[in-house]
Amino acid sequence: MKVTVCIGSSCHIKGSRHVVEQLQDLIARDNLSDKIELGGTFCMGKCQQGVCVTVDGEFFSVSPETVGTFFEKEIKARV
């Protein structure tokens, strides 16, 4: 599974670093690092909806506060 987090300026200001760090921690906690490829990109063109995240190409709007539920629902449930 490929999870891509936007680390462009707009998403960065909205906390993409915290989203990435939490995802890294959650992936490590659940031993999913061989199943999930976490990557970064600069701008997905939907800056208003940041932090922008895609899971195998499907778009999600995530924030540092919602990343936990997002991980359970959209990532963990699918692997």
Query: Which stretches of the chain bind another protein, using CB under 8 A?
Result: 5, 7-10, 12-13, 16-17, 20-21, 24, 39-43, 45
CB of 3 to another protein, least distance (A): 12
d(CA 64, CA 35): 22
Q: How far is the CB of 79 from another protein (least distance, A)?
A: 20
At its nearest, how many Å lie between another protein and the CB of residue 73?
22
Taking the least distance from each CB to another protein, the nearer of 39 and 68 is 39
Rounded to an integer, what distance in angstroms lies between the CA atom of residue 50 and that of residue 7?
10
CA separation for the pair 66, 49 (Å, rounded): 13
